[in-house]
A and B are shown apart, each in its own frame.
Chain A
Amino acid sequence: MNRGVAIVSFPGSNGDRDAVDAFAESIGVATRLVDYREESLDGFEAVVLPGGFSYGDYLRTGAIARFAPVMTAVQQFALTGGPVLGICNGFQILTEAHLLPGAILPNRDLRFHSEWVHIRVETGETAWSSAAADGEVLTMPVAHGMGNYFADPEILATLEHENRVVFRYCDADGHLTEQANINGSMHAIAGICNQKRNVVGLMPHPERAADPLLGSPDGLRILNAVTSFVGRLV
Chain B
Amino acid sequence: MSASIWRVDIVVLPKDGVSDPQGEAVKSGLGLLGISGVDRIRVGRHLEVDVAAADEAAARSIATTMSEKLLANLVIEQFRIDSIRALQPTGRQL
Contact = CB atoms under 8 A, between A and B. Distances in A.
Interface of A (DSSP majority class): loop
Interface stretch (A59-67, A131-139, A193-201): A59-67
A148 B45 CA distance: 19
A59 B21 contact: no
A150 B70 contact: no
Contact of B73 (A96, A101, A151): A96
Interface string A90-112: 00000110000111011111100
A103 B76 contact: yes
Contacts of B73: 60, 63, 96, 103
A106 to B, nearest CB: 5
Interface in B29-77: 45, 70-71, 73, 75-76
A107 B24 CA distance: 12
Interface of B (DSSP majority class): mixed
Interface of A: 59-60, 63-64, 67, 95-96, 101-103, 105-110, 148, 150-152, 184
B1 interface: no
A109 B21 contact: yes
Contact of A108 (B18, B19, B45, B75): B19
Contacts of A64: 70
A150 B25 contact: no
A151 B74 CA distance: 11
Contacts of B19: 105, 108, 148, 150, 184
A148 B71 CA distance: 20
